[in-house]
Amino acid sequence: MTTILDPTDERVPVARQITPRTGNISGVIGLLDISKPRGSVLLDELERLLAARYPDVETRRYAKPTFAKPCPSDLRLQIKSECTVLVEALAD
Amino acid sequence: MTATRPAFSLRDLAGAARAFPTGRSSLICFVKEDCNTCNLAAPVLEAFHRAWGDVADIWMLGQTADGNAILRDRHGLTLPILDDGALQTSLAWGFDIVPAVFWIAADGAPQPPLEGFSRQEWETLAKKISQDLQAPPAAVAWADLPEWRPGCGSKHLDPEIHDRLLAEAAGSPIRARRIEIAPADDIDEFMFDQGFSDGLPVVPPTPERVLRMLSGVRRDPQDIVAVVPPNMAPATVEKIAINAVMAGCRPEYLPVVIAAVEAVCTDEFNMHGVTATTMGASPVLVINGPIRQRIGMNMKLAALGNGNRANATIGRALRLVIRNLGGARPGGVDRSTMSSPMKFTMCFAEWEEGSPWDPLHVERGFQREDSVVTAFAMTSGPVQIVDQESRKPDQMGGTLGLGLEAMFLSKIHRMPVDALLVVCPEHVRTLTSDGGYSKARLRDRIQAVTSRPLREMVSNEVSGAGIPVASAAKMTEAMLASPAPKFADTKFIHIVVAGSEAGKFSAAFHGWVTGAAGSAVVSRKIDC
């Protein structure tokens, strides 16, 4: 953990900004299992519901090698290049 | 009583918390495992513990957690060994050398600590403890011990550790919001993402770096130096120091950065307007006085360019203050059409020693021995003025005038706009080749060679800029024939000397809207 001091006038909270929400369900939806137990159960059900309600939507499944480490950059790039949106299942 | 030393609560090797003061007499000894003298002292302390441990607390405070277990095993110690691996207690107790022994008698006056090992001092202390406790002496074979051993520097004074400890200590002067960056985050990328950077990498402003930066001034870190436009944010010394760290400044540059912030955050300089203008103005800082030499500024070869840390980072620190504190960002309040690399940094020193004239700050009313920053709001520059042929003083002055005529648009004259002329040493030599050539004479020469009939400024088919045709139609022939020099007044021509002794290339910076409606030149004395 590195600590730095805020160089600004501190009017704005320092935080990572959330990626803008798309507002609709279309394109390729990535389903990322972070490899925690039973994450696949949640994603299986989500994939079934998506297929039933949005037959035009394609889903693709991904899994992190381990939940204990950040997603490998190769996998991140692959998901980014293949998917419109990503659903990440934390589970337990 | 025992509250004569700072309280602490530290864990012993069994993981139990032990708090000081204990309510009993205490012997506290700071040690580090890799110090030979500490290893010499450890068995003595153990003997103290065995002799008096039931009526007093004899504790060793080790400066590394791993080292404590090693010391215990190496010497078969049974006395409590507490973990001061964080070194905050060492810092708070304030000694230089380990072993450092503090005897705090329950009802005695505070004793100065013993640092290192002097057999006589330690033996005297042992007698005193024995007396204070009214207990038998400890079983120490004093005669077998060396007369003197120097001890080692305490770990908390390690330069890499000390500043961090000060920054984290309860009395730290740091007040800025602390931002924790997760280990998985790249710190440089994080700072880019937060918009803290001008587009180039910045040095992470860690608390210890900011504390070191603050050592460059004597001022209270919470002093408000200025209110920074456009957000009108208060700039404390601390906030300026944070941005100075990011810019790459050394602590000794900080007084210059502070004076520069003071100069531009004035009504006269009008930093808001300078920021907002589509013309893309930015402060150009000229440094005068002894501080130039003291902090190693460049005023000679490549004075206006890259390669010198002070020149580069002082100008950049000012820009980062304007950006991060003032909130001036391109596309926000900064509406520059083209902008300019001067918005990264533009700061140089005048080569006073190479000038035949009073330096800029003396002209502006300061003493020669004062150190001064002068801020100009400039939209272009440095623009070179090339003349390798002139050999006569007035030819040289004429060239400098013709060079300045290009400001904004060569056609436009009688401009109430500042220009900063940086005369190179070879051009100075030509100017003064027949003796003195005053700045006043040079200014007059510039005005003389740039004087053109007013009618040349009238809008025409070559260029629509200038006096509208309808306005010109109302002028008399005499008015149209009257000579119009480049500048509305010689006071707009500012002259300094800088650059390499080889090369006949002077330079000019072109101003913005000058005066009350725009920006005035502002100088501030540097507190150093």
Cβ atoms of B378 and B510 within 8 Å: the answer is yes
**DSSP H stretches of helix in B346-490:** 360-363, 393-404, 425-431, 439-449, 469-473, 477-481
Cβ atoms of B69 and B137 within 8 Å: the answer is no
The pLDDT value given to residue A15: 65
Strands B347-349 and B282-288: parallel
The pLDDT value given to residue B203: 98
Q: What is the mean pLDDT of residues B393-413?
A: 97
Is residue B376 within 8 angstroms of chain A, CB to CB? no
Which residue among A2, A16, A70 places its CB closest to the CB of B204? A2
Determine, for residues B206 and A14 on separate chains, whether the beta-carbon distance falls below 8 Å. Answer: no
| pLDDT above 70 as % of chain B | 99
C-beta neighbour count of B332 within 10 angstroms:
13
Whose CA is closest to B349, among B291, B396, B403, B278? B291
Which residue among B177, B204, B327 places its CB closest to the CB of A6? B177
- Chain B, window 277-336: residues with a beta carbon less than 8 angstroms from a chain A beta carbon: 320, 324-325, 327
The pLDDT value given to residue B1: 40
The pLDDT value given to residue A18: 66
The pLDDT value given to residue A91: 66
Least trusted range by pLDDT, from A29-38, B103-112, B116-125? B103-112
Which residue among B207, B234, B325 places its CB closest to the CB of A3? B207
* Single-letter residue type at A44: D
Strands A28-33 and A85-89: parallel
The pLDDT value given to residue A33: 93
Over the stretch B32-83, which tens digit does the pLDDT of each residue have?
Answer: 999 999 999 999 999 999 999 999 999 999 999 899 999 999 999 999 999 9
* Single-letter residue type at B86: A
Over the stretch B185-199, which tens digit does the pLDDT of each residue have?
Answer: 899 999 999 999 999
Determine, for residues A5 and B179 on separate chains, whether the beta-carbon distance falls below 8 Å. Answer: yes
Range among B18-22, B92-96, B298-302 with highest mean pLDDT value: B298-302
Residue A53 C-alpha, separation from nearest chain B C-alpha, in angstroms: 37
Over the stretch B311-346, which tens digit does the pLDDT of each residue have?
Answer: 999 999 999 999 999 999 999 999 999 999 999 999
CA B282, CA B323: separation in Å to the nearest integer?
12
Determine, for residues B206 and A5 on separate chains, whether the beta-carbon distance falls below 8 Å. Answer: yes
Determine, for residues B207 and A11 on separate chains, whether the beta-carbon distance falls below 8 Å. Answer: no
Whose CA is closest to B267, among B513, B518, B525? B518
**Which burial class, exposed, middle or buried, applies to B451 when counting CB atoms under 10 A from its CB (0-12, 13-18, 19+)?**
middle
CA B456, CA B465: separation in Å to the nearest integer?
11
Is residue A68 within 8 angstroms of chain B, CB to CB? no
DSSP-assigned letter for residue B334: B
Cβ atoms of B14 and B72 within 8 Å: the answer is no
The C-alpha angle B195, B199, B201, rounded to 5 degrees, equals: 95
Q: Residue written as tokens 């100009």?
A: B376
Over the stretch A36-73, which tens digit does the pLDDT of each residue have?
Answer: 888 889 999 999 999 999 999 999 999 998 877 768 88
Over the stretch A1-14, which tens digit does the pLDDT of each residue have?
Answer: 899 999 999 887 77
The pLDDT value given to residue B2: 42
**Chain A residue at shortest CA distance from B245:** A7
Rounded to two decimals, the pTM is 0.75
The C-alpha angle B137, B140, B141, rounded to 5 degrees, equals: 130
Determine, for residues A6 and B176 on separate chains, whether the beta-carbon distance falls below 8 Å. Answer: yes
| pLDDT above 90 as % of chain B | 91
The pLDDT value given to residue B172: 82
> Residue A92 — pLDDT band, cuts 50, 70, 90?
low
DSSP-assigned letter for residue B457: G
Is residue A24 within 8 angstroms of chain B, CB to CB? no
CB crowding A66-85: b at 16 or more within 10 Å, else e: ebeeebeeeeeeebeeebee
DSSP-assigned letter for residue A40: H
Q: Which residues of B touch A2 (CB under 8 A)?
A: 180-181, 183, 187, 204, 206
Looking at per-residue pLDDT, the higher value among B85 and A15 belongs to B85
Per DSSP (E only), the strands in B357-439 are 372-386, 419-423
ipTM of the complex: 0.75
Instruction: Give the Å distances, CA to CA, from B200 to B195, B283, B308, B319, B480.
Output: 11, 19, 17, 12, 51
Two structure tokens written together for B32: 């580090």
Determine, for residues A7 and B196 on separate chains, whether the beta-carbon distance falls below 8 Å. Answer: yes
> Residue A17 — pLDDT band, cuts 50, 70, 90?
low
The pLDDT value given to residue B254: 98
Q: What is the mean pLDDT of residues B119-126?
A: 96
Is residue B61 within 8 angstroms of chain A, CB to CB? no
Looking at per-residue pLDDT, the higher value among B180 and B355 belongs to B355
Determine, for residues A8 and B325 on separate chains, whether the beta-carbon distance falls below 8 Å. Answer: yes
